[in-house]
Structure 1
């Protein structure tokens, strides 16, 4: 590899319903300093001071760089992180020069390579990455257990539109066409880790059941990406400089192996400077129908398998049509599939999205119970203050019932909120509590009626 500049990147992803934005932060460092940086012997102080003297970055940018480098190093040390998986791919990018409203990337030759030494093999030695390979795809010099060659291409379409605007029809047509197979929440590093380090993975990503199926579909006519009023076969942003082989990543940190939780079409506010057109007004957002790209990794599988490798043979162990084991504890928000005898405890995880309205519905139910308790308590207070001896007995009974209703409502609210946060599939109803409340309330009314009859 000829590149000497290494980027250390930290991604923080949030569910969009939380209202928080996903953040991608990074800084650069010379490769010769990486080992010393990871060991704590090298800091960015000299580089930051040089940039401050040159005036190329603001004080806020320099402060953020220093903070990020310190926090990344602290995470590496406290969590005992080490390089695990490297990803390699060739990226072809399509974009109109100077116009970031439409960006398309196609990643081919996607390969994941082991960098760890968990099995006692010093693949990288004392270096931060292994040096026995470069960019010589398909890495035939590596043993099959160290490499995972992904059998499809990864397509990503990024759109910048006004906030709340639906994606263009051509994007929806492309998704529904025979050209792609959508795989929401696909992650290159999750896939590579699950294949290469299967003994360290308890839950398999849900797209594994698609890996041993032919995703080709009957051809759909009239599907393509073309410039308006131009010949049918021309692609948006396609020029002689559009194709490059600079999409290789040497990301060998396990922190990048996190599953990206996003929707089929995710609204992401652009944070990189210079990407917004000055003619756009209002809040400009990016619709990212992301197929394996960055920052989102919602991916479609494109193409066909034309070779066998270790990952294919490994994936054939998964039986996507097996019935769940009734003896296995079901996990919240997951669809479980039994595997063959050599992998009895593997589960395929399907992420479950929780809408904010679910929490609001739980709160409304809680307030409804409180409203009932307040009405009942007001009735009890009136009987205690202005009733006769029989009315006071009934008022005391209604007071106890009102307090019981409030306690029950609070416990039910907390119970449901906890299950929602853990994304459990249910059930969320409670038949015992309301039944007891009705029986007790009827008993109090009957008691009041009986005492009145006896007293008269």
Structure 2
């Protein structure tokens, strides 16, 4: 789809006058026939129109976001005022609050799409201008103007967090009035651990790609069911995981370890018996006091799931860990002094640190890849049944020093300081050092009790048009495949679908999930069989909700052509054998029906299938070429057999047979050439004629079989004549009597 069509399709009707006038700007780029050159006056006129459109978009964006902020503030004040009063809030008022909050959330989704598509339009038109008129470059000017009108830095996450924080409170209060389960669990951590010990839980993980056009809709869909999870700013990592206030959407960094041969990567790609992955993980800016999580993942066999072990160390101890000299005794003493730590947990920590250091030293692991992304987490505090992570703005950066002449990282350091000090989109990095992932990554983790069903909203999201499932997606595997392609021999299976548009048509997804006959709540269609009044063609029809349609059945309305074709019957019989050997196309099997053309319609002189330009994929031509080469292999084989018969026989009959097979090889070569040329013509003309050939392979196979048997017969006769075999031998009798 062209961008002008996409802009027109994505325009929200009530706001249509506030969009970028893309078509008008395109017209300004076209030079006049009287003045074919682009002059200063034309450039000035275009820049003025461009700046006017940018200011119009920014003014509307500011006005709309300010109005949304005031609406949210008004709803918050009304709700707080009602809670502060002695009078009880009834269910009708709570439902009205939820409707108002949903309406505001829908408005946020619309303004986000408005901002994004208009920003894209500005970039597109500037790119087109710079390509047409290289003497004038407007990209730097647009960047400067965006500092004054910063629609490219629009962040809607804080306002969404305010909306759905209040949404969760109102929903919980409404559910409590109705006697339903609230969104915030009241179970304690001890109770959750106890229930886990009584039964085996099911851990399920799904991973999806989310297109930028659908990102805001996915967020609002999740926020209606789960509250957003905050990360505290000044607490340790152990407390961060359960924090409910602090930083929204923190920057997450993962540093992956491997050796120059990428053995860990290859183990995971080849699905080895036991494949390891090792990474360092932290949130926010890296400082000497940052808690760094060391995560070791183990994948067993061909399974996509893995077990994960982790422990926390400080930034100052990472270098010793990578050298294999880290001593965890100080940490162990602190753990033993804590009253809540058991002896088993202390021993487990000690063994894990030792195993990780042994893995690093034995495999010569070093940091090779860094992934940086913005994480939005959604979870009910105190309830681990469903947790959703949405990672956006993902970048993958080389962190290796494999190339000693041009290392990306200082070999004496364990991380790159230039990346630590930079921020998204990391324009300071060279082209071959960074890959920006085009989509967001949605991860849904479920922890279900035995017999517990998956939440309905999770299933609805998984089957919706908003997401595209990618089983086993790994940021590390994608980064290695993109940045270290010359160092590895295997690439991830999803790597070759990166150019595919993952957006789906909502209507087609809905029709596939809910066919018309199974739509819940729809009235049952009234179906009656009606006969046409015409005596010549009594075709049964179906009256469906007042409309008549031909009845799709093979019991009453099947034609004599359908009855005469045994391939259309449900049972196999001897009559169907000739049809299996007959060259056929889809039309002959399905039974095409001919219809009388109305008198006012003329038959086209050129069929529609060949009316346009011929566009044939390369693989079709190459398939025809490969078939021709296979035929040439048969020709060479036949010629070799003929030459063997001719040279190994002194009898006149054997030489005559060798000469005959030589001529047969020549005929097969001519037949292969004619077949190749005929199929080329069929491909060019898009002909529906069958390309199947039955007699050619049959004749070649029979000729080869006859040549081999005759050659064996002559060989056995020669062996008897030379005294190597007796005349009464079974094989001699068999082949000499042929």
Q: TM-score range by the shorter chain?
A: 0.3 to 0.5
**Which one has the bigger helix percentage?**
2
TM-score by length of 2: 0.29
Specify the structure having the higher radius of gyration (Cα): 2
Which structure exhibits the higher relative contact order, with contacts defined as CA atoms closer than 8 Å and separated by 6 or more residues?
Answer: 1
- TM-score, normalised to structure 1, is 0.46
